[in-house]
Amino acid sequence: MDIRTKRLAAMLLLTMVAATPAAAQTYNTDKIGNLLKSAHRDMTIVCAHRGLHGTAVGTNSHADWLRNIPENSVAAIEAAAANGIECSEIDIRLDSIGNAVVLHDTNLGRTTNAYTAVNGQPYDPYTHAGYNPNIDAFPGQDWNLHLRYPNLSGYSDSRFTRLHDILSAIRDKRLSMILLLDVKDVPAAKVAWDIVKGYRNAWGTPAERWVYFKMPVSAIGNDAASFEQKGFFNPGTEGGRFRLIPVFGADFIDASGGPGNSLANWRSYYAKDYVYATEVRLKQYDNSLSYPLNNIINSYYAMRTTQTNVKVLGAYQPVPETRYNSYFAADGHCCTDPRYWLWKSQHGWGQETYDNRENLNWITSVASGSFSYVITDDPMTAISTLRSQGRRNTSVISN
């Protein structure tokens, strides 16, 4: 089968998937926002990490229609919607001239054919040979690049993606989902916010009501007051429009000055109306506070069991993506794995000794099921698992 035939077959299969009952479901993005502000025990939000895309190994490497869909592409967003997934998360960076582009890595070699711009050689993440330019140094201006197949076997028809492309596709393809923007720094967030304010979906709902900025507190400020001083948005005039999901990792403990201060800082974010959920990068848990961030989880559990209208607590599930069942590093090279992601306090405030997050059942069981959104590269398995646990009552977010 030649390349053109393979592509036609993949498009046909994707069309067939779009005709399934799951695809026919139309979600109400305002209801998803309401759910984020008031968690339901019978409904856990599933978010497709970088859209629904292929991987070199695992569930997403098997299906013909899925294995060649690149991450962070318009096709990945469309595939997520076609399979009844109510949320996609994409990565936002700025290029050298200030455009908001959709890219996870700091470099271009793993995911694009950037080598064609300099008559170089394709980048091999496993040997580190070939052209792998940093996005800040890349000489290309028109971004006429193609995205790479996830198994690195070739290049797709999908073009290198801008935030404009994703928002336009959601509008033009009538996709009913929310979008999380994983933005690592304030300058990129400012550009993205200005773009978001100019879009609506096909039903006329402003994008600011279905786009959420998911940002690490290490970049935006340890507490809400520090964040607001960044001047990213105007709390007085835009506080009812802008939507934030702050992300708390264990490094936040040292930056805050200890576990007590970090808990107070988490609460300062949680209390803000523009915060719709919080994400905690928890790796180990017991209720005796033996591990980092456990005090936040226990505080949240106490709220969830004694109060109504408690905001969602979110988790991220890493899923192996390389042929060695490991992960690509920030610049795109292979490999890294959870052993290298463990944190140890510089001030004696604890340490992580293991990362449980690859285990979805562990995530869904923490503190009696306290996590009620999951971001994952294997959202189809997550949906199936949560459904079996009685935690996919999608009627609460459906029209």
DSSP string, 108-131: STTTB-GGGGTT----BTTTTBS-
Closest CA to 212 of 18, 45, 79: 45
CB–CB of 86/393 below 8 Å? Answer: no
Q: Name the pTM for this structure.
A: 0.93
User: What rounded mean pLDDT belongs to the chain?
Assistant: 92
pLDDT band at 20 (very low <50, low <70, confident <90, very high): very low
pLDDT of residue 234: 86
pLDDT tens digit string along 233-254? 888 888 889 999 999 999 999 9
pLDDT at 19 over 60: no
CB–CB of 1/366 below 8 Å? Answer: no
Mean pLDDT, range 117-122, rounded to an integer: 93
pLDDT of residue 139: 75
**Can you tell me the distance from the alpha carbon of 106 to that of 99, in angstroms, rounded to the nearest whole number?**
14
Closest CA to 275 of 298, 251, 246, 247: 246
